[in-house]
Amino acid sequence: MKDLTLIIPTKEEVESLPVFIGEIKNLNCKKLIVLQEEDIETKNAISEFNNIKILVQKKNGYGNALIEGINNVDTKYCCIINADGSMDPKYLEQMLYECKDKDLVFGSRYQKPGGGSDDDDIVTSVGNYFFTSIGNLLYNLKISDILYTYILAKTSSLKNLNLKNGDFRICVELPIKAKFYKLEYICIPSYERERIGGKKKVNAIKDGLLILIEIIKYFFKRK
């Protein structure tokens, strides 16, 4: 895995991040923690680890964390994996193998057999099914979990997407642009664990509306 960098977007994960870093510290890959400047408590909580790099975001927001992280990767492959421990690193080896002849590999909680979640609830489950269905209907994405950003990719392919959204809309911008740019990708089953700590950062109503608008707007952009 020496050609792989883990991009770990982090916001107020003082409880979970030290545990998760402890879990992945022996993996033979680079670990890039993308942290908001004011999150001093989380930064201090991981000060004991010396095999990680911390990147302080210039702009706040989940999307900006991913964009700035991707732009600071210098390995052939990179993987977005959350700091709360819900994305199981046991899938990394398989994802890396699948990516050898693909541009991107999407982990999916709804890909069967094998996918599932101990962290999903009825609101996020129904919402994700709705957004995934619209994305597949409008763009023939052929994916099963549009909002899940457990993604391993060739770094050059991600950089070429020129991602723009600084918030959670990046979750749908990424697969839609991958389709538009004719990138090769595959979905594999991924079981989402219960988060170690922290809380969900998504506002179901506000972010859900923004995501819906984001999905639909590309339909008119390509006309």
Per the structure, how many domains does the chain have? 1
- CA 154 to centroid of chain Cα atoms: 14
What is the residue range of 50's domain? 4-221
Residue with tokens 């693909």, as numbered in its chain: 102
Q: Which pairing describes strands 77-80 and 4-10: parallel, antiparallel, or unpaired?
A: parallel
The CATH number of the domain holding residue 164 is 3.90.550.10
Q: Which amino acid is at 114?
A: G
Tell me: pLDDT of 222 over 70: no
Task: Report pLDDT digits (tens) over 144-186.
Answer: 999 999 999 999 999 999 999 999 999 999 999 999 999 999 9
What distance separates the 2 farthest-apart alpha carbons in the chain?
52
% residues pLDDT > 70 (the chain): 99
Q: State the Cα–Cα distance between residues 14 and 33, nearest whole angstrom.
A: 13
As a residue count, the chain comes to 223
Task: Report pLDDT digits (tens) over 34-77.
Answer: 998 788 899 999 988 988 999 999 999 999 999 999 999 999 99
Identify which has the larger pLDDT, 195 or 203.
Answer: 195
Where would I find the beta strands (DSSP E) of 40-197? 53-56, 77-80, 104-108, 116-117, 151-154, 185-189, 191-192
Contacts of 47 (CB under 8 A, 6+ apart): none
